[in-house]
A and B are shown apart, each in its own frame.
Chain A
Amino acid sequence: MSTDRTDVIVGIDLGTTNSLVAYADERGPRVIYTSGDGVPDNGMVPSVVAIDPAGGGVEVGASARRHAIERPEVTVYSIKRLMGRGFEDVQGERGRLPYRVVRRPGSEGRDIAAVEIGDRVYSPPEISAFVLADLKRRAERHFERPIRKAIITVPAYFDDAQRQATRDAGRIAGLEVVRIINEPTAAALAYGLDRTEEATVAVYDLGGGTFDVSILRLAGGTFEVLSTHGDTHLGGDDFDWEIIRLVQQEVRQRFGQHLEFPPATLQALRNLAEAVKISLSGQEQVTFEIDLGEGRTFHRQLSRSELEKMIEPYVQRTLDSCTRALADAKLATGQIDQVVLVGGSTRIPYVRRRLEQYFGRQPYSALNPDEVVALGAAVQASVMAGMKREVLLLDVVPLSLGIETLGGAVAKLILRNTRVPCQATEMFTTFIDGQTSIKLTVLQGERELAQDCRSLGEFELRGIPPMPAGAPKVQVTFLIDQNGILHVSAKEQRSGKEASIQVIPAHGLTRDEVRQMEKDAYAHAREDMMAHRLIDVRNQVTFDTAKTEQALAKAGPTLDADLRRRIVEAMANLRKMAETATDPEALNQALQDFDRMTVPLAEHAVAQALKEAQWERHE
């Protein structure tokens, strides 16, 4: 697909907790601080989607989050944790999420975690697409034109399935995802723009649900990732849950072990825990009270040091990741010139303190850690749009890629932290005479056994010419592109025949499924557009009829009585129609007719005004 040079490309940070959209112009990157309805805000759209199971529509962002307590079972948050994951993978998450997580039906041979609301099942890309569509609308409002292209950021440690799911979400939202970039790399882009001297930087990105660390070498506009490590299930959410668990435990000790926490209470507790955590970044202790009903009140004072003790194991895990990333980059902590902080959770003083001890230098956070990833995505967007040539981004693949061999072992083809794009080729043959297809299981991960790695799916090479067993030589090329997404192609060497490849993604959607969702979403968007248009036309009817009423009053007895009667009648009809209309275009037509009919009234008003003016002049 060729890219239209005039198209705006936006940069999107699709976060676990919040999402932002940014763009870059000649003055640099900036976040869009106005909602799709033109309301100014802080640019952060909570990654929350509330779906009315009765078919009443979808709310996104702050308005959806307000429903979280009243209707927790239809309010979806932290969907990023389910992206590209199997139902089996997310068992640990289920207890935390008040909405229903199920195995997506109709996905033979695959295992996809999905969300059930009412009688509909939504895959994670569909939920994320609602957030993306909201960000798209923001950008469209800002630019006053359709936006079709975006760069979306993902945690550096996202595997192929999680990246594909993110790209699918973009597609469902009507966005061509021209590039997926890693969040820490994006942050470095936002920071390192004007840097000319060479420096080695560690980007420490602790967000709501994910953690990444990337080691980069920056020199004259080149952003070269040396290594990356992380955990796609470690973030500020975990700290909240430590507080929630503590409260639950103590509440039960006091009021009885049988005490249940229904979804609404759990949601309230979640909001409280987050607020407590944030407060403890600024003050030494926080006092809170929970009304449990029936005259039971739980009162607690929590100190910063208590919180620090609770989150210590998590912070230690992030430092272990730093150690691995440094080892892979063949660097010591002393060789890092700067430690850059990204993500809301790096506001926690304990995180900063431990990092400072670890690296032996004060971490750096000149830019808002919530915005820096979106800003970096916008910088890359201007590179992709051909506006900027001085930036060169060289990133790596976070996880090794391999294939399952006989006996369940893994043959690694591409090692982790290999620069992308990269490719590996491997020869395969047949075991049976006349065999025309070969099945491969492709895996990502560092472990030696296939069962300990993540399966990306089954690739079936078809169309191999029938030959005796062992005779075909099928050369399979595994290419990981600059986005960290795998492409597989195969060729039978003796016949030179290109083998076709049927892919069954282990945890992902097929191309046809994504296409169908895209179509459905487009239809929904049309419905939404109709609803918006109807509201607009109705408002215009109210406005025009009110003006006509004023004009009629002002015209007084000089207006032709017959004309007056006809206008009053038409006005009543139009108002009645506006109340019941479902088709905005029909209503608009009626409005146009009405406006035409009131032209003589307007002319009458003008003539009268002229007469008055002349009269004034004569005086």
Chain B
Amino acid sequence: MAHPAMSLAARTRHGHLWQWLVLPWRAQDQGGQWFMLTILALTLGGAVLLKPLVGSGWPFISGTLTGIAVILIWLYLMPCCLRLTLAARALRLPGITAQVYTSFALYAVLTSVLPAILFALVGGPGLTVGVACFFAAACAFLLALLPHYVCFAVCMAPAVLGSWMTPLPIWVPRPGDAGFLMALGWASVALACLAIARWYRVSAGGISDSRWRRPLICNLSATYLGNDRSAPTLHMDDMQLIRQRPNWLQPEVDVRHTGPRHLQRSLRVALGTSWLPLTRRSYWRQVLYGMLVLAFSVAFVALMTHGDPDGQRTLWHVLLALAGGVMLAIGCLASLSPLLGLHRRWSRTNAELPLLALLPHLDAPSRIKATLLHVGLRLPITRWLVWAALAWIVACWHHGSITLGITLTMAGLTLFGMLLIAALLLGIVGHQHITRSSMVVLTVYLFVLSLFSGGYALAVLFGRMGFSLPGVLALAFWWLLLLAPLGGFIVNGWRAWQGLPHPFLAREG
């Protein structure tokens, strides 16, 4: 099969406007294309449609939505061209790099000059929007090319800077100050220059093997590095994780009490990752690492709230939000990521499946199926329930009483999470593919719904918005709508699972 860069080279050798426009899209996989298109349609469509609805506040709302679209384009879409540039260099394909640079120039105009003109035409602050969009584009592009830990520091810098501004003699113009726009413009040019320099460095030197030096875009896009299986992407599988993790971070598995008489524990060893039974020492070590991350986060919050006259109160609020965030991470990531890892591993033919399929004394197929389902579901569902209970306690405590709205919301979320976990596991063991288009629709739906739900919860938490039962019920309704597709996935997965002669058949392409 021809390398994507080769087919692109054939298509883009004689470039014109349309080809420069579609070039970054061709560097994406189909899922990425649909994701970008949907988010762009939502943000840009929202920017246009909300104008007549929000009255005098439209420039801010529409400008923000446009900014989000610009950030997405320069954080995710355009940096994927790095793959093309690297592949073109490796394959000695002429012309591709020039096409990429022309495409960059075209998109720079489209994402800064075009919004400025459009806003000006409808009576908005065209110049401000144009400069802000250029700033957002330069920022996003630079971030995409920096290593992930640098991105974290850069993203948090404004907050830290804000809290330390009084004691330190640093003057930063704020929106509304004279010269703010000029400063923003120069800052954008400086950031763009840094991004260009970084681009040249990465594209000339290639992608480093160390995940600490790789650009952020490597973590965002799975297709980015093509066949480079060592790439630490979000889609990194358990094998890559094990290979890259230092020895002192490897979990120590406790294989005592396994064997035919301890089937559940034996299956936990076979399922791996979060299911593994750990030695006591390894277990406490994992807890310690978690506590260290938490301590680092608290220290960071304390640093951020330094200089705040109402520091204690802010610190308390931020800590609450942090606790919520950590709980959300535990709930979502800890419950769902083991299943995603299992999905990737068990999609391959040479992982544990052949070993388990031929392992004697694992019990009769029907009973081992039930045990596998039980073991597979117990861990993620327990984690999800613990998260939901903690979130419910914190929310009720913060609100001052146990309310029906909070309880219903949490009950809905609990139900949703459990069904999602069941659908994912049955999809894996029952070999049921969720089609790419369904996945994109669900992801976008979840993204938008989470954005609204999270925004509403934070607004209530910080007292910016009153708690209203109809609002919560409306959100709950949209969440409950998800039950229909989830139910479909569960039924399909269950039927297919029941039809398999034994539970360890490899998924066949």
The answer on A and B forming one complex is: no
